[in-house]
Amino acid sequence: MKGFSTYLYVGMITAILVSCRETADEPPFSVTPEIKFQSLSHDTIREFEDVLTISISYQDGDGDIGFEEPDDYAVYIRDVRLNKYDGFYIGPVAPPGALIAVKGNLKLEFPSLFVFGNRSEERTRFYIYMIDRSGHKSNELVSTDVIIKKK
């Protein structure tokens, strides 16, 4: 009977250790991309002179962010003053087919923002989301406001 209780004890310890181990097949975070706003390079810019840089962070559980074809867009951005999103190309951040979790930072640059109409300045913000190669759409983030001043 002592041998049975030893086996039972070893079996229970093994079961506990195995259940605590993270399964290798499970990514550390969701396979749907997640993005977070980090910062704006400026809160006020002069039209046609200053470059606005928006910094965001991203994570994706299967690493399929970015495309090989430059005509395929991964990041979509809309200036709140406009109705339409513009797509932007990002190359693969991990080798296609690798299925590895990735996270990192992106800097999105806008070199030629300008004031619409005749006002001396205008306030705007940006809506941003990502789509990965599997078609998963990330959350949408909203930047903080930026003021664009006429030249």
CATH of 27-149 given 2.60.40.10, 3.90.800.10, 3.30.1330.80, 3.30.590.20: 2.60.40.10
Strand, helix or coil for residue 130: strand
Number of alpha carbons in the 13 Å side-chain half-sphere of residue 37: 15
| Alpha helix segments (H runs only) across the chain | 2-20
pLDDT tens digits for range 106-139 = 999 998 899 998 999 999 999 999 999 999 999 9
8 Å CB contact between 51 and 66: no
Q: Which residues contact 100 (CB under 8 A, 6 or more apart)?
A: 62, 63, 94
pLDDT tens digits for range 22-53 = 455 677 889 999 999 999 999 999 999 999 99
pTM beyond 0.85: no
Radius of gyration of the chain (CA): 23
Residue whose token pair is 């001043």: 149
